[in-house]
Amino acid sequence: MASGLALCCVLALAACGGEGEGEPIRVHVPAGASFSQVTDSLANHDIIGTPALFKIYARMRSATGSVQPGTYAFRRGTAWSQILEDLSGGRVLTARIVIPEAWDLRGIAPRIAAATGLDEDSVIYVLTDTAVANRMGVPGPTLEGYLYPATYTFPVAAPLDTIIAQMVAVYARVWTPERRTRAESIGLNEREVVTLASIIEKEARQRDEMPTISAVYHNRLNRGQRLEADPTVQYALGEHQQRLLYAHIDSVAGNPYNTYRHAGLPPGPIGSPSSMGIDAALHPADVNYLFFVARPDGSHIFTRNFAEHTRARATVRQLQRQQQANTPAGNAPAAAPPEGSTPQQ
Which pLDDT score, from 0 to 100, does residue 168 have?
A: 98
Computed over every residue of the chain, the mean pLDDT equals 90
Check residues 337 and 82 and name the one with the higher pLDDT.
Answer: 82
**pLDDT digits over 84-128, tens only?**
999 999 999 999 999 999 999 999 999 999 988 899 999 999 999
DSSP state at residue 58: H
pTM, 2 dp: 0.84
Note every long-range contact of 310-315, with CB atoms under 8 Å and residues 24 or more positions apart, other chains counting: 313/341, 313/342
Q: What is the pLDDT of residues 237-262, one digit of tens each?
A: 998 888 889 999 999 999 999 999 99
User: Over pLDDT 70: what percentage of the chain?
Assistant: 90
Helix (H, G, I), strand (E, B) or coil at 252: coil
Domains of the chain (ranges, CATH numbers) = 29-92 (3.30.1490.480), 94-173 (no CATH), 177-325 (no CATH)
Name the strand (E) or helix (H) holding 78: strand 70-78
DSSP 3-state assignment of 19? Answer: strand
152 CB-contact burial (10 Å; exposed 0-12 / middle 13-18 / buried 19+): buried
Which residues, in sequence order, are bridge partners of residue 28? 71
CB 213 within 8 A of CB 281: no
